[in-house]
Amino acid sequence: GAVVSQHPSWVICKSGTSVKIECRSLDFQATTMFWYRQFPKQSLMLMATSNEGSKATYEQGVEKDKFLINHASLTLSTLTVTSAHPEDSSFYICSAKGTGPSVAVTDEQFFGPGTRLTVL
Amino acid sequence: AQKITQTQPGMFVQEKEAVTLDCTYDTSDPSYGLFWYKQPSSGEMIFLIYQGSYDQQNATEGRYSLNFQKARKSANLVISASQLGDSAMYFCACLNTNAGKSTFGDGTTLTVKP
């Protein structure tokens, strides 16, 4: 199947700093990327959906100015957590869907390995 | 709005036995897709199996099969011959074809006992 990478896999930062997480589709063109947040033992909560070259669509309750999403190319999307606080500590997962030889099921989402953010 | 219900927060199964993980869904979208994912303790989401709403036959992938009952709006995952490595959290998800995004259930933690 198609591969999505995420970087970094974990990050620890001080309160008030900004953190950028990258999500890359390695062997297919990601027309749509999704960003999720997951607390321990809980489900994935969709934060936003982004289409290449367009502004991200945020889910209700997600602060656009807090979680900046950029999807500048068909292989890269970034999530920037601005002025991070301890309550932003969580597991952030990106996923992508798109087209390419490695995409067998249309609309299948391919997930990155996740980024564990800890804000001190 | 879509809703996915996984009624089993935790399940135990003996190694080599089969286990069924329940999933019911509620969607108004006439065309949708149902996915199951496995999430081990490492956190990575692993795709297991997919069922399209118009597929006539139940999907199978190796030891995984999906018991799709459209009228009941259920899409249960059956894992045959459980292995210790199957211990993980399992999520059912429904793709809204029109919106292009998926809704996830709360997950079921499966523990395989030796």
C-alpha–C-alpha distance, residues A63 and B108, integer Å: 29
Return the pLDDT at B96.
83
Can you list the residues of chain B whose pLDDT is less than 50?
none
Return the pLDDT at A106.
67
Contact between B102 and B93 (Cβ < 8 Å) = yes
DSSP string, B13-51: EETTS-EEE--EEE---SSEEEEEEEE-TT---EEEEEE
Model confidence band, residue A108 (pLDDT cutoffs 50, 70, 90): confident
**CA-based end-to-end distance of chain B:** 41
CA-based nearest distance A8→chain B, Å: 14
Cα pseudo-dihedral B31, B70, B55, B82, rounded to 10: 120
Number of H helices, E strands in chain B: 0, 12
Among candidates A38, A46, A113 on the partner chain, residue whose Cβ is nearest the Cβ of B101: A46
Dihedral of alpha carbons B111, A113, A111, A68, sign: positive
Return the pLDDT at A65.
94
C-alpha–C-alpha distance, residues B85 and B11, integer Å: 14
CA-based nearest distance A113→chain B, Å: 5
Q: Is the pLDDT of residue A102 over 80?
A: no
**Chain segment A20-41, per-residue pLDDT in tens:** 999 999 988 888 999 999 998 8
**Chain segment A42-83, per-residue pLDDT in tens:** 999 999 999 888 889 999 999 999 999 998 899 999 999 999
Among candidates A44, A91, A107 on the partner chain, residue whose Cβ is nearest the Cβ of B104: A44
Return the pLDDT at B84.
97
State percent of chain B over pLDDT 70. 100
C-alpha–C-alpha distance, residues B48 and B102, integer Å: 15
Contacts B104 to A, Cβ<8 Å: 43-44
